[in-house]
Amino acid sequence: MIAQIQNGNDRPHLVAHVRMPTGYHERNDTPKQDRFDWFLFNDFLVTPLSEHKVIQLAPWKVPASACFVRRDLWNAFAKKSDVAPKLESLEYLTETSPVNGKIGINITSALRASEMEQLGPKFLCAIDAEFVTTRAEESEVRADGSRGVIRPPRQVLARVSVVRGGINSEDSSAPSPQREPLFGKPFLDDYIVQTEPIIDYLTKFSGIKPGDLDPMSSMYTLTTLKSTYRKLCILIENGCTFVGHGLRQDFRIISK
């Protein structure tokens, strides 16, 4: 259920109440009285709550929409997820429909995924993401002289690269990742066209310069954010293990 909440004179915003199958998230030792079926998604805060609180209405909480799901959907999804990924879905990792109609060096360096690659929890993927700023930080100086942030800067994904790391096996007789034929070769290296004006390319950190994301002048193949999301979802849904620097921050901004 989606509800609009408003605290006093604050701007209203939407929150989601989502019901998960009992035991979906819990450890076996979770006390029964502490188990919850319902979760509240409020921006980055995820909180378990009782069904009574979900359906409880108040002047500050107004329902906006409700979505119903088949009871056996989770069982059907579980069976489907056991099926090995199709070659077509893996090939999409390095396919692109250039926004600027150009095949740049970032695409020619990426290698098409092979059905022989055993994507799964033990398959390592090194990921690095770069961002640009599309909205400056808004702040104010309080009466006591301290500075407070009214609205943080907005950063959006501008480039993401994913490199093969091979199979991480604990079996000493198994080939090490370094011996994998495609070890260190990229799945993708996407430059993403922007739909908002860029106020800071963060070149010192991102390496991205003015013109790199412009369809008229970029030397790279530009793709859409939707296309890049689809590629990342293929790796995520196959359970690959991601390694890199600042993954929590990177995925937080990527998922905005």
Reported as a single tens digit per residue, the pLDDT across 29-73 is: 545 554 558 899 988 788 888 888 898 888 889 999 998 887 777
Confidence of residue 178 (pLDDT cuts 50, 70, 90): very low
CA distances in angstroms from 230 to 46, 93, 129, 138, 233, listed in the order given: 24, 8, 15, 33, 5
Higher pLDDT: 229 or 10? It is 229
pLDDT (tens digit, 9 = 90+) per residue, 150-170?
Answer: 888 889 999 999 998 877 765
* One-letter amino acid of 40: L
Percentage of residues of the chain with pLDDT beyond 90: 29
Distance CA 45, CA 4 (A): 16
H helix or E strand, kind and range, residue 233 = helix 225-237
Structure tokens at 155: 């950063």
**Res 87 pLDDT > 60:** no
Report phi then psi at 28, rounded to 5: -65, -25
Which helix (H) or strand (E) segment is 108 a member of?
A: helix 105-108
Q: What is the rounded average pLDDT of the residues 165-183?
A: 62
Q: Are 134 and 156 in contact (CB under 8 A)?
A: yes
Taking the CA atoms of residue 20, residue 23, residue 25 and residue 29 in that order, the dihedral angle to the nearest 10 degrees is: 160
Q: What distances in angstroms separate CA 212 from CA 20, 157, 189, 191, 193, one per listed residue?
A: 43, 13, 13, 8, 9
Say which residues have a Cβ less than 8 Å from residue 122's Cβ, sequence separation at least 6: 167, 168, 169, 241
Residues 193 and 222: beta-carbon distance below 8 Å: yes
Q: By the 8 A CB rule, do 120 and 185 touch?
A: no
Quick one: which H or E segment has residue 250?
Answer: helix 247-254
**Range in 32-41, 62-71, 117-126, 185-194 with the lowest mean pLDDT:** 32-41
Length reported for the chain:
256
Choose among 11, 20, 15: nearest CA to 65. Answer: 15
Read off the amino acid at residue 250: D
What pLDDT, on the 0 to 100 scale, is given for residue 88? 55
Identify whether the C-beta of residue 227 lies closer than 8 Å to the C-beta of residue 192. no
* pLDDT tens-digit series, residues 195-223: 889 999 999 999 999 999 999 999 999 99
